[in-house]
Amino acid sequence: MRTIDVAAGRPYQVHIGRGLLERAGEFAARGRKPERVALVMDRTVAELYGALVEKSFSRLGCRVEPYIPPPGEEAKSMKELSCLLEFLAEHEISGGDLLAAFGGGVTGDLTGFAASVYRRGVGYIQIPTTLLAAVDSSVGGKTAVNLRAGKNLAGAYWQPSMVLCDCDAFLTLPEEELSTGSAECVKYAMLANPALLGELTANGLGSDWEGVVESCARLKADFVARDERGKGVRNLLNFGHTVGHAAERCAGYALRHGEGVAMGMMVMTRAARKMGFCERETETRLQAALRALKLPVECPFPPDALAQAALVDKKREGSLITLVRPRSVGNCELTKLKIEELEDYIRLGMEE
């Protein structure tokens, strides 16, 4: 097992290994054993692993209250947040109890946001079962739900008390889910780990995911330690996300998150190369990694639609929007762009 310390305002640890789900209760009780655990998981996760994790808490004498939200992005809504909060109140979950986000990024975002506002803040843990959640959303304390205007526009920073990642859970993921999660791994490699990009390119979906998760989680922990609330360097973690989220919206959210991020990284890198900020090799290496991981390297949506969809991006500040562009593999920088220039910038990144 590998353990990473996250030096946030409320420090915690990320545990990465195999065969950990059956010990979830043991890990959760290391700080203080809760009387009740609200176990939030979608139906697929419940059918695969629900009984195993419930048993791990029951062995400690904890009363488990399962909550099953709807599947997919539908769960990341104010309506579902309200339903979860009412569930917590009806089951008398108190400040001494625990919420457990058990599943993918959607479950983690919803549960974390609920934990941040219920009784003005209660403890929760993250038990990610997807590669995407393991390497990105489970670490760092960003929680959110979507609004009609766009993704993640209502949320809070609320750090978990623990993250428990059992990489055996990846064995049941469909190939497309493993692929979409790998886009965030490529993002971390482009930001700070050229060797990781080489590994992902060489091994594709057959990569050593336990080692990859550790590498990405360590990088995420470093960004969080330096900028917990996203006022500076942590914004580099949005590489590919402004255009990626816009692509998801243009697709009516039928596009997987990692597919959108892959498109966004390519658009930003191609534009950077054309403007002389990076060499062609940077674009070539990124494209090779994405293809090895069965991710898209072209964006099918028109630049004007993408620019319009991006106007609700969280990194917009008045007439400016913050973008991330690469200098080279392992070295990216933040840049501010006037919103009226965004469409041309995106167009530049879509044309050969």
**Tens of pLDDT along 172-223?**
999 999 999 999 999 999 999 999 999 999 999 999 999 999 999 999 999 9
Distance from C-alpha of 64 to C-alpha of 51, rounded to nearest angstrom: 11
- Rounded to two decimals, the pTM is 0.94
For the chain, give every residue range classified as CATH 3.40.50.1970: 2-172
pLDDT computed for residue 32 by the predictor: 81
Instruction: With a cut of 50, list the residues of the chain below it in pLDDT.
Output: none
Write down the architecture of domain 2-172 according to CATH: 3-Layer(aba) Sandwich (3.40)
Beta bridge partners of 73: none
In the block, tokens 């979950």 appear at 93
- Spatial contact of 162 and 15, defined as CB atoms under 8 Å apart: yes
**Delimiting residues of CATH 1.20.1090.10 domain(s) in the chain:** 175-348
CATH superfamily of 175-348: Dehydroquinate synthase-like - alpha domain (1.20.1090.10)
DSSP string, 143-200: EEEEETTEEEEEEEE---S-EEEEGGGGGGS-HHHHHHHHHHHHHHHHHH-HHHHHHH
The pLDDT value given to residue 264: 98
Question: How much is the pLDDT for 208?
Answer: 96
- Give the helix, strand, coil percentages of the chain, each rounded to 5: 50, 20, 30
